[in-house]
Amino acid sequence: MGLYMNKLINFIVGSTLILLITGCDDKSISLSEEDYGVLDNGILIKQYIFENDNQMKVKIINYGAIVVSIEVPDKNGKINDVVLGYDSIDGYVQDPSYFGAIVGRVGNRISKGKFSLDGKDYALAINNNENHLHGGIEGFNKKVWTPEITELNGLPALKLTYLSPDGEEGYPGNLNLEVTYTISNKNELIIDYFGTTDKATILNPTNHSYFNLSGEGNGDILDHVLKINADYFTPVDKGLIPLGNHESVLGTPMDFLKPKKIGERINNDDNQLKVGLGYDHNWVFNNWDGTLKLGVTLFEPESGRFMEVFTTEPGVQFYSGNFLDGTNIGKNQKAYQYRSALCLETDHFPDSQNNSNFPSVVLRPGEEYKQKTIYQFSTK
Ligand code: GLA
């Protein structure tokens, strides 16, 4: 590996702070900051804009640690924004669908909001029928995070920190979570998570971006070709709570071991697809050992856009946008229709604390929670 010399340039243009990192290969990545919007309580939310030399541009706000947009080229160099979102802060404040946000403390469902830890029973906020979903009534997706522009592995980075107080939504312990976003010149969006607590608690955050590789608002995702490196998934009951077992994907519509169109079997008369109203399940990655591995690939044939998802996590919740119904009015007043985007939420399995055979989501004082997930974009 050659010597990589970084030049870090930090300057202010008007009210915009620009951080520019130049490598000796003449490639540069900039990160700038601008005002985004004001909450009803008067708090000013900032937007952070990453840009690289390969036509990738990513916007993030410190409300919900939300990824607002990801612009990447298609095979002909045409730029599209490939994630759903809104045009202003009000859209995100009212959003019921977790567009682009970090969800937590625990992503996905916890059965009846109940769990025990070290012999103590906890009751969490109930916000999804009789269950707890995505951190509760006011999860991390609705919080103001403290932003800091920094540098990570030679790249400009945005570190967003949220201190979740003891008892919030019923969870024990003061939990400190840092989510650091970076982009690279290989068109990667890199997300690093780091968490600590002062009392034993449970933590399982993820990013809830809705992807459509044709461009947001541009049709459904049924022709997207998906591959998931998982021999097993975790079947669910009618409340979408895992039954606790691992079931083989072989011979079922859950089999994405070889690349397959999402629409190919989504309307199959399969019991799991019926309860999920489509795909809304956790897949169990093969050979999980906590190191960064390629777990999922997604290809959209017309644009040629290809996305690879690398993660340190044991599973992924693949959700095919089954609750989108045209009522989310998104960017440029577009109504986001049924299955017009999909989520690939890398994390531990839903309801882990109530299933002792699932990898643990417990975090104790003195321990460090770490997750790394990369969404990498290219074309073919
Ligand atoms: C997750 C869940 C879905 C749904 C969406 C948000 O992916 O698994 O059931 O709640 O979030 O609408």
Give residue 26's pLDDT. 55
Determine the Cα–Cα distance for residues 233 and 374; give it in Å rounded to an integer.
Answer: 22
Determine the Cα–Cα distance for residues 376 and 354; give it in Å rounded to an integer.
Answer: 33
Report the residue among 128, 133, 273 best suited for mutation to probe ligand 1: largest number of ligand atoms under 8 A from its CB.
Answer: 133
Give residue 154's pLDDT. 84
Output the CA 319–ligand 1 centroid distance in Å. Answer: 7
- Tens digit of each residue's pLDDT (9 = 90 or more) over 311-346: 999 999 999 999 999 999 999 999 999 999 999 999
- Tens digit of each residue's pLDDT (9 = 90 or more) over 238-247: 999 999 999 9
Nearest C-alpha neighbor of 152 from the set 83, 289, 50 = 50
Please, which residues bridge with residue 58 across strands? 50, 70
Determine the Cα–Cα distance for residues 103 and 84; give it in Å rounded to an integer.
Answer: 16
R_g of the chain computed on alpha carbons: 20
Give residue 77's pLDDT. 97
- Tens digit of each residue's pLDDT (9 = 90 or more) over 100-146: 999 999 999 999 999 999 999 999 999 999 999 999 999 999 999 99
Determine the Cα–Cα distance for residues 231 and 179; give it in Å rounded to an integer.
Answer: 30
Determine the Cα–Cα distance for residues 31 and 11; give it in Å rounded to an integer.
Answer: 11
Q: Ligand 1, closest atom to CA 276? A: 9
Residue 81 has pLDDT above 50, yes or no: yes
Determine the Cα–Cα distance for residues 271 and 238; give it in Å rounded to an integer.
Answer: 10
Determine the Cα–Cα distance for residues 351 and 130; give it in Å rounded to an integer.
Answer: 13
Residue 222 has pLDDT above 90, yes or no: yes
Cα angle 92-203-82, degrees, rounded to a multiple of 5:
35
Give residue 4's pLDDT. 40
The single-letter code of the amino acid at 237 is D
- Tens digit of each residue's pLDDT (9 = 90 or more) over 176-212: 999 999 999 999 999 999 999 999 999 999 999 999 9
Determine the Cα–Cα distance for residues 361 and 19; give it in Å rounded to an integer.
Answer: 36
Is 134 among the residues known to form the active site? Answer: no
User: Cis (ω within 30 of 0) for the bond into 364?
Assistant: no
Residue of the CA atom closest to atom 6 of ligand 1: 97
Q: Ligand 1, closest atom to CA 280? A: 8
Residue 232 has pLDDT above 50, yes or no: yes
- Tens digit of each residue's pLDDT (9 = 90 or more) over 128-140: 999 999 999 999 9
Output the CA 12–ligand 1 centroid distance in Å. Answer: 40
Give residue 159's pLDDT. 98
Determine the Cα–Cα distance for residues 334 and 86; give it in Å rounded to an integer.
Answer: 9
Nearest C-alpha neighbor of 92 from the set 145, 142, 152, 150 = 142
Give residue 54's pLDDT. 95
Give residue 1's pLDDT. 30
Model confidence at 22, pLDDT cuts 50, 70, 90, reads low
Q: Ligand 1, closest atom to CA 323? A: 12
Give residue 2's pLDDT. 33
Give residue 28's pLDDT. 85
Determine the Cα–Cα distance for residues 77 and 300; give it in Å rounded to an integer.
Answer: 15
Determine the Cα–Cα distance for residues 39 and 103; give it in Å rounded to an integer.
Answer: 20
Is 348 among the residues known to form the active site? Answer: no
Give residue 213's pLDDT. 98
Residue of the CA atom closest to atom 7 of ligand 1: 319
Give residue 325's pLDDT. 97
Model confidence at 21, pLDDT cuts 50, 70, 90, reads low
- Tens digit of each residue's pLDDT (9 = 90 or more) over 280-298: 999 999 999 999 999 999 9
Model confidence at 41, pLDDT cuts 50, 70, 90, reads very high
- CA contacts within 13 A on the Cβ side of 226: 28
pTM for the model stands at 0.95
